[in-house]
Amino acid sequence: MHSHFKKWNPYVSPFDPCPPLNVKYYSTPPNLYIGFQPPGLPQYPNASEALRSGTLWPALYSPYPKPNSVEGEEES
Amino acid sequence: MWFYEKKLLYPVRVSTCNPMLAKFLLELYGGADGELAAALRYMNQRYSVPDRLISLLTDVATEELAHLEMIATMIYKLTKDATPDQLKQAGLGEHYVNHDRALFYTNAAGVPFTAAYIQTKGDPIADMYDNIAAEEKARATYQWMIDLSDDPDLNDSLRFLREREIIHSQRFREALEILKEGQ
């Protein structure tokens, strides 16, 4: 399972006018890793949950904005 | 041909009177990475691609039209009761003087839609890579839109639309694999 976000540390100059953003994140959705979708991939247990997620398959779901729980998550 | 179902693909609710969000949403309506550009791009590519990709392009183009309808609903709801002064405050004064509250295919900066946004090279590999890029750009645009919006109901619909772009990208990535293998 790959992480949904990756982080990096932009260069911070002592002369930057705004307070620095020390960590930046970017989204890495599952479609980057999955290749052909395997047959028989498990689906959400009910239709309303699938509709709210925007996909039938939890393995293709990508959260946004970054949930706080993945703060500091390392690349897997 | 198409059959029309008289409901939205996913519910659109707007909880705050904030016409500025309508201005930003125009990027997803008539912008380069918006839903109109996506729908027209795939509908147009259908004719010249290898047979196995035609139905995929039809399906995705059709869904993009359903997304376009959702974005139109959001913009309409955010502007229909706004006063001219509120629209001016929201940066939509230029829109109002030309169109009143009518929707028009422009991007967030008011630049009218152009067919130059739609890439079709006629080479299936080039076009599928370009479609994947278009879906990722649409995903990113939804992300920046969610970042700008503090309306939880609107964001719920926007998160749905962002996820759909991820699924479309997945399907185009699979289409590329089909092309690599040959018919």
What's the pLDDT tens digit per position in B72-113?
Answer: 999 999 999 999 999 999 999 999 999 999 999 999 999 999
Task: Let me know how many helices (H) and strands (E) chain B has, helices first.
Answer: 7, 0
CA atoms within 13 A on the CB side of B25: 29
Query: Cβ(B153)–Cβ(B77) under 8 Å?
Result: no
Tens of pLDDT along chain A (76 residues) come to 789 999 999 999 999 999 999 999 999 999 999 999 999 999 999 999 999 999 999 999 999 998 887 654 544 4
Predicted pLDDT of residue A22:
95
**Phi, psi at A8, each rounded to 5°:** -150, 165
Q: Give yes or no for A41 touching B (CB within 8 A).
A: no
- What is the ipTM for the molecules in this complex? 0.87
Predicted pLDDT of residue B71:
98
Query: Cβ(B140)–Cβ(A3) under 8 Å?
Result: no
Cβ neighbours of A53 in B, within 8 Å? 163
Contact B163 A61 (CB under 8 A): yes
Predicted pLDDT of residue A70:
63
Please name the member of A34, A36, A54 whose beta carbon is closest to the beta carbon of B163. Answer: A54
By the 10 Å C-beta count (0-12 exposed, 13-18 middle, 19+ buried), B162 is classed as buried
Predicted pLDDT of residue A68:
81
CB neighbour list of residue B180: distance below 8 Å, 6 or more residues apart: none
Please name the member of B146, B166, B174 whose beta carbon is closest to the beta carbon of A62. Answer: B166
Query: Cβ(A74)–Cβ(A16) under 8 Å?
Result: no
| Distance of alpha carbon B79 from alpha carbon B100, whole angstroms | 10
CA B50-B55-B60 angle, 5° bins: 115
Contact B143 A60 (CB under 8 A): no
- C-alpha distances out from residue B65 to A62, A70, B19, B84, B116, Å: 22, 34, 23, 29, 19
Predicted pLDDT of residue B161:
98
- C-alpha distances out from residue B123 to A31, B16, B51, B127, Å: 23, 46, 14, 6
Q: Kindly list the domain boundaries of chain B, sorted by start residue.
A: 19-181
Record the tokens describing residue B163, joined without a space: 């996820």
Q: For residue B91, give how far its alpha carbon lies from the nearest alpha carbon of chain A (Å).
A: 26
Query: Closest Cα partner for A21 from A9, A7, A38, A5?
Result: A9
What's the pLDDT tens digit per position in B60-69?
Answer: 999 999 999 9
Task: Using only the alpha carbons of chain B, give its radius of gyration.
Answer: 17
Predicted pLDDT of residue B30:
97
* CATH class of the domain at B19-181: mainly alpha
What's the pLDDT tens digit per position in B4-61?
Answer: 999 999 999 999 999 999 999 999 999 999 999 999 999 999 999 999 999 999 999 9
Residue from B142, B170, B174 whose CB has the most chain A CBs within 10 Å, to mutate: B170
Contact B166 A65 (CB under 8 A): no
Q: Kindly list the domain boundaries of chain A, sorted by start residue.
A: 5-66
| Distance of alpha carbon B9 from alpha carbon B35, whole angstroms | 14
